[in-house]
Amino acid sequence: MGVQLKKLSEQVLVITGASSGIGLVTAREAARRGAKLVLVARAEDALRQLAEEINAAGGEAVYVAADVGREEEVRRAAEQALARFGRIDTWVNNAGVSIYGRILDTPFEDMRRLYETNFWGVVYGSVVAAEILRQRGGALINVGSTVSDRAIPLQGVYSSSKHAVKGFTDALRMELEEEGAPVSVTLIKPAAIDTPYTKHAKNFLEKEPAVPPPVYAPEVVAEAILHCAETPERDVFAGFGGKALSLVDKYTPRLGDKVMETFMFDAQQQEEPAHPRGDGGLYEASGELKERSGDPMYVSESSVYTKATLHPFLTGALFAGAGLAAVALMTRPRRADGKGGGNGHARRRTQEHVWPNAAGLPAEG
């Protein structure tokens, strides 16, 4: 892209949705690496607690309680960031809400509210950030989802909002590149992630909602976000499960529909009955400073695929080194007593640990 980005330790980051899940993990890790932070979310008490935690540990963070679905509040967050630090180097649009339920059971006002956060929050944040970043350079990072490529049932409204985010982000990227603006625009596409996402969603199901496997740790997404704050990337899948679903939709979309219809309804519902929750986090902030859901499930703490995507040269070097070592072992002369060397009979089989997901696709361990 020809865009030069600073080291994270020299940056000022604005992170929306910083009070829980992916945003919270990203904020803590960015602070640990020396970045200055502007924390944005609706939950003021949680943000205050997070800022105090970071500052007490030797970091530097301020917070702005704001609803990203309101343009004036997004602009206020940017103004406070500039007033405190004098610049913004990376803006991360991460805030999001969800609804579990069939589309025909979802009121229009709830659909609109979801779009105010998931789509318009990204639009307001992107436009405000681009106005600032195009002057001095920097990174704009929008957190979308794998469902921007492959919609899933029972989260149809959420899926459609992420499709909109992808289209908007791709178009904005081209316009900024065409004018020569020194801005890197990245779309992060997380797979299913273990965050309080289901706890904050409005639920129209009879059972408690669940995220379908394979499920990854929020640190996988945070690693991708912070990498893209330093290194221009077009888009990144956080977790191979998301990439697999995207490939299914690209090459066998009708088969993907049938697989979804067979597995995805049950995979998104727990056994226990739905808990009373009102509107969840759709209209009101949860106020919880939590990184994960606490639900009993297997979570992949890392993603080999994502690491390889973010560090292709290092990955290539490791594979090349492993290949050379294997060749050396196989071609080593055998000893007279028959020991040593490689005759192919004593080779050990190794296999990366995989877990089946709801669609029957392999998932990383």
Tell me which residue of 307, 278, 127, 283 sits closest to 216, measured CA to CA: 307
* CA 309 distance to own-chain centroid: 14
Distances (CA, A) of 73 to 21, 65, 78, 335: 22, 8, 9, 75
Tell me which residue of 127, 138, 131 sits closest to 12, measured CA to CA: 138
Among the residues of 57-210, which ranges form H helices? 71-85, 108-118, 120-136, 156-178, 197-200
Q: CB burial class (10 A; 0-12, 13-18, 19+) of residue 223?
A: buried
What is the amino acid identity at position 106?
T
Distance CA 53, CA 55 (A): 6
Enumerate the active-site residues. 158
Angle (nearest 5°) at CA 80 between 228 and 5: 25
Residues 6+ apart with CB under 8 A from 24: 18, 50, 218, 289, 290, 291
What is the amino acid identity at position 306?
T
Q: How many CB atoms lie within 10 A of CB 284?
A: 12
Distance CA 297, CA 300 (A): 10
Distance CA 74, CA 94 (A): 13
